Amino acid sequence: MRINIYSPTYFRFNKTQKAISTIIETVNSSKHDVKLYLCDNNSPHEMKLWLLDQDVHNERVVTYLSPINYGKASIVNTVHGAARQSDYIASIDSDMLNTHDEYNWIDEMI
């Protein structure tokens, strides 16, 4: 199954960094073909660099940097319009921590 997950971001660097790291771990351990789209709403430079670094070091992560703050729904819709075709889509906030190491929530949903 091809799954696209969209995570809109805007600053809150420490929270976002922790949460996105746990989401990436789950994406990487999924048995499915999962892509995580990091949808940034014009965060400060430091955060943009960190988000781009996630993209460069992981083929399952795609980072979209918006030149303006579109808002949560608009940026997810914008990135979804340009994303690959998939069987399933999901959106997860960039402050959601995955604390369940005993199972993969993506695989459990499918």
Q: What is the pLDDT, as a whole number, of residue 33?
A: 98
Separation between Cα atoms, residue 33 and residue 66, nearest integer Å: 25
Q: What is the pLDDT, as a whole number, of residue 100?
A: 80
Look at residue 90 and tell me if it is in a domain: yes
CATH number, position 27? 3.90.550.10
Q: Is 21 helix (H, G, I), strand (E, B) or coil?
A: helix
User: DSSP string spanning 26-70?
Assistant: HHHH-SSEEEEEEEE-S--HHHHHHHHHHHHT-TTEEEEE-SS--
Tokens 């695989």, residue located: 107
Look at residue 22 and tell me if it is in a domain: yes
Q: How many domains is the chain partitioned into structurally?
A: 1
In contact, 76 and 43? CB cutoff 8 Å: no
In contact, 110 and 3? CB cutoff 8 Å: yes
Look at residue 13 and tell me if it is in a domain: yes
Q: What is the pLDDT, as a whole number, of residue 8?
A: 97
pLDDT digits (tens, 9 = 90+) for 24-38: 999 999 999 999 999
List, for the chain, all residue ranges whose pLDDT scores fall below the cut of 70: none
Q: What is the pLDDT, as a whole number, of residue 105?
A: 93
